[in-house]
Structure 1
Amino acid sequence: MSGTSEPVLVVDFGTTSSSAAVVVGAAEGRTVPEPVTGAATWPSAVFWDGQQMLVGTLAERRKRSEPESFAAEFKRGLAADASVVLGNRRFRPIEQVVAMLAALRVEGERLHGGPIARAVVTVPASYGSHDPRRARMIAAAEAAGFDTVELLPEPVAAAFAPIVGAPFEPGDLVLVYDLGGGTFDTALVRIGERWHEVLGHAALDDCGGRDIDALLAGRIHIDGQEWLAPLLSSAAATPTAPATLRLGMAVTDFAQRLKHQLSDAPAVEDFFLPNAPPYRLSRTDLGTLAAPLLGRTLACCTDLVTRLGVPPSEVTAVLAVGGGARMPAVTELLQRALRLPLRTVEDPALATVRGAARWLPSSGPRRVSAQTSPEPTLPLAFPIPGGSARLLRWLVVPGQAYLAGVPLARVRLPSGALWDLTATAPGTLDRLLIPPGAEVAPGTWVALARP
């Protein structure tokens, strides 16, 4: 596999927001805009209207009309994949992921002007080789209409993102600090020419930008008791009543709006309701409120480096990515506590998708040539890189002639990367020895061919 003229949709599927880019050949990826807002990020949200699943901003705009039909952060439930009720139906998290990926594919094809059959989906480094979330993400992408699906670790993608200043050099050790909307992930990555190696990783599944929003929303409830009291009294007593859910959504959205404004201003004054008094908040207030949560992310980073036995002096830099990295409190904390060079990207929220789009054409020809014998019927075996791989599909059929260098089959490595098994000389495929779905070990005879 390599960056060819075949169009590829690169997807960063996040807990609270997602983004995608169309990559064709060596050209720079084109970000897929959200169809309602035109923004580069899509809310990872769905809404079942009784007949179809709405996604993104369309879902966000309907959530207050029927809160019980709305869902967000469903990526967190992908491990158990237990169904939840949306309106009058039950949906598993994987089905909600399919709806989001299908919408991204439709808009990507509209931007490209033609069909897109191949996808690269970034996943957290915590999704290990036997983690069921890997298989479910691949299955969701296939159900969304992609024929070929490749997984790429998020910290590897982030390390390929265009950074401010000089680029990283091969051999550099980079600590990726990824504070997303729903989770925090960190990884120590060794920079390479074509592939970056994840030396170790750690994650906090309950520590993201939305958790900061929840803390701020709690403070707004306390500070605004006087003007929220009439709304609270009119809301139903049960936490799951639509009126109660609507009020909670409104306060959380207001908290998020305040937080975003503080990325550009030292203090902000805004109104929850036209007749309510102004609510004032400063960066210092927000930093104090978020300090315990951000302290957990810092401890997660230092514990990872300690566990790997890497002296801090050998770490080249900290790379801050994710939407939460926009907060000045985050960058100030990293600079003050870690005492390492801090590297940033133009838009931290798009670092993963832009890095993946840059990685794809630079990943090189991921092909391995056959090992044959001098017999009239040649057994084909391949030196699979990194150990065994799973055979996804045969690209030629018995009786079909092929030329040297032509891909015969496609395999998926444990890392999620796709490789093509190619012929070293022309021939005709005689018989298949390994069926699709089977594991292929290095040197195993996978087929017989005739010169």
Structure 2
Amino acid sequence: MSGMSDQPVLVVDFGTSSSAAMVVTGETGELVPDPVTGAPTWPSAVHWDGQSMIVGALAERRKRSEPTAYAAEFKRGMAADVPMTLGDRRFRPIEQVAAVLTALRAEAERRYGAPVHRTVVTVPASYGPDDPRRAQMIAAAEAAGLGPVELLPEPVAAAFAPVAGPPPVPGELVLVYDLGGGTFDTALVRIDERWHEVLGHAAIDDCGGRDIDALLAGRIHADGQQWLAPLLASAAASQSAPATLRLGMAVTDFANRIKHQLSDTPAVEDFLLPDTPAYRLTRADLAQLVAPLLDRTIACCRQMLAAVGVPPASIGSVLLVGGGARMPAVAQAVHDAFQRPLRQVEEPELATVHGAARWLPRSGPRTIRASTETTAMVPLSFGIPGGSARLHRWLVVPGQPYPAGTPLARVRLPGGALWDLVAATPGTLDRLLVPPSAEVTSHQWLALATG
């Protein structure tokens, strides 16, 4: 997009369990922390208080008091698009996504001190050009007051993240292994100086950190049956759905806490409640518990590589990103499976947003000059990268004169990026030949102009 790198841009990595955002100006970027906790990531959670939607850490804090008005992981429901009841209202997943994006925009503008009108939202590589979730994510961002909205594949963004040691070199094939909070995504990326190319991708929608939490919560239920049974019976006896929900949330949060502790220490001993017995788990226990889940991710990677005809030996390195990459068991499983060098980032849960921020100023002006010289009446056509795109909108109207270099229209490439079609010479737009939202091809006549 013309001059995009010189203007403030909000970069958003909207994740299933947590989201992150940065305001990028030129070569610098500033994270937008959750205003309640100051953490660099926001829980992708909402809470309907009867009048407004509360998001992030504040929603997490209210889930115990009103669990039936709380929701998380709604990104998983975007494909089905089934409304869910929160308190006294029903909300579609797109509305919940828009609520989180609205809060991110408001906090970004508060910290930046001015409106931020341009946005890059990262999406899984599995969101192909015809996937309805792409349009839903764009619609949610526009409903949140953001626009124009560009989409950037998450593995492309992650490949730009700063890594320990030397960065990947142009031409290198990098296998991106992204174990997020709610999903697993993998992609094979060919590194280039400006535009990385996604050669293949695959995803598992029910395989992420939250699923590991659920496995661990199930083990806690089984191991602590003697002391959990009275608590469960008490919740059931109260005939209160919220009481049962609160107990389930407490056990899941406890499992998540143990999992995170085991990333830093070989064994953990912790308490669900002050008066419950200590629960002990080792890193080896957790590795054994999650082995079947990690086996699924490895199989997903192998199937994707086979589909694109690239043997593991041709991979230059494997990039571990996503919050799940903090688990030692993940690095060990990936190394054992592929025997390739591992690239790791200091904060894997922030790899995508940091990478997108680094990609932005390197992505160029993204403008296309008209390939036809203006005479009395000439068609305007443009050489579109990749050969095709969708016309996003016209930026001028018939009868409007324009100088050379004026953006005439904007197109969205199949990967989600927005490019401006600019005038090579001055002229006046006579008529439009292609309406917005239409598919266009390279050098197709899009409009007629006069000199």
What secondary structure, in the 3-state scheme, does the structure 2 residue paired with 1:220 have?
Answer: helix
The reply to whether residue 10 of structure 1 matches residue 11 of structure 2 is: yes
1:104 corresponding residue in structure 2: 104
Instruction: Summarize the alignment of residues 288-307 of structure 1 with structure 2, pairs less than 5 Å apart.
Output: 288-307=288-307
CA distance in structure 2 between the partners assigned to 1:343 and 1:4 by the alignment: 27
Aligned residues: 450
1:17 partner letter: S
1:403 corresponding residue in structure 2: 403
1:57 partner letter: A
CA distance in structure 2 between the partners assigned to 1:96 and 1:240 by the alignment: 26
Contact kept? 2:373, 2:425, Cα under 8 Å: no
Structure 1 residue 239 displacement after superposition: 10
Structure 1 residue 116 displacement after superposition: 0.9
What secondary structure, in the 3-state scheme, does the structure 2 residue paired with 1:436 have?
Answer: coil
Larger mean CA deviation between 43-52 and 220-229 belongs to 220-229
1:322 corresponding residue in structure 2: 322
Contact kept? 1:3, 1:24, Cα under 8 Å: no
2:226 corresponding residue in structure 1: 226
2:364 corresponding residue in structure 1: 364
What secondary structure, in the 3-state scheme, does the structure 2 residue paired with 1:164 have?
Answer: coil
Structure 1 residue 240 displacement after superposition: 8.2
Contact kept? 2:5, 2:365, Cα under 8 Å: no
2:291 partner letter: A
Q: 1:388-447: CA deviations, max 9, x gaps?
A: 222222222333332222211111112211111011112232333323222222222222
Structure 1 residue 258 displacement after superposition: 0.6
Aligned CA distance change for structure 1 residues 438 and 305 (closer, same or farther; 3 Å) = closer
CA distance in structure 2 between the partners assigned to 1:240 and 1:181 by the alignment: 29
CA distance in structure 2 between the partners assigned to 1:443 and 1:205 by the alignment: 39
Structure 1 residue 269 displacement after superposition: 1.2
The reply to whether residue 24 of structure 1 matches residue 25 of structure 2 is: yes
2:366 partner letter: R
2:323 partner letter: G
Contact kept? 1:47, 1:59, Cα under 8 Å: yes
Structure 1 residue 76 displacement after superposition: 0.5
Contact kept? 2:10, 2:21, Cα under 8 Å: yes
Larger mean CA deviation between 437-446 and 141-150 belongs to 437-446
CA distance in structure 2 between the partners assigned to 1:355 and 1:101 by the alignment: 19
Contact kept? 1:18, 1:43, Cα under 8 Å: yes
2:89 corresponding residue in structure 1: 89
Contact kept? 2:5, 2:360, Cα under 8 Å: no
Aligned CA distance change for structure 1 residues 69 and 188 (closer, same or farther; 3 Å) = same
What secondary structure, in the 3-state scheme, does the structure 2 residue paired with 1:430 have?
Answer: strand
Aligned CA distance change for structure 1 residues 239 and 447 (closer, same or farther; 3 Å) = farther
What secondary structure, in the 3-state scheme, does the structure 1 residue paired with 2:116 have?
Answer: coil
What secondary structure, in the 3-state scheme, does the structure 2 residue paired with 1:33 have?
Answer: coil
1:204 partner letter: I
Structure 1 residue 369 displacement after superposition: 1.0
2:418 corresponding residue in structure 1: 418
Contact kept? 1:156, 1:196, Cα under 8 Å: yes
Q: 1:123-142: CA deviations, max 9, x gaps?
A: 00111110000000001100
Structure 1 residue 88 displacement after superposition: 0.6
2:209 corresponding residue in structure 1: 209
Instruction: Summarize the alignment of residues 38-437 of structure 1 with structure 2, pairs less than 5 Å apart.
Output: 38-236=38-236, 241-373=241-373, 375-437=375-437
TM-score normalised according to structure 1 size: 0.97
Contact kept? 1:3, 1:363, Cα under 8 Å: no
Larger mean CA deviation between 50-59 and 400-409 belongs to 400-409
CA distance in structure 1 between the partners assigned to 2:407 and 2:379 by the alignment: 16
2:283 partner letter: R
Structure 1 residue 238 displacement after superposition: 10
1:101 partner letter: L
CA distance in structure 1 between the partners assigned to 2:389 and 2:169 by the alignment: 30
Gaps of 5+ in 1: none
Calculate the aligned-residue CA RMSD, in Å: 1.5
2:107 partner letter: E
Larger mean CA deviation between 218-227 and 145-154 belongs to 218-227
Q: 1:65-84: CA deviations, max 9, x gaps?
A: 11111111000000111111
Identity %: 71
2:327 partner letter: M
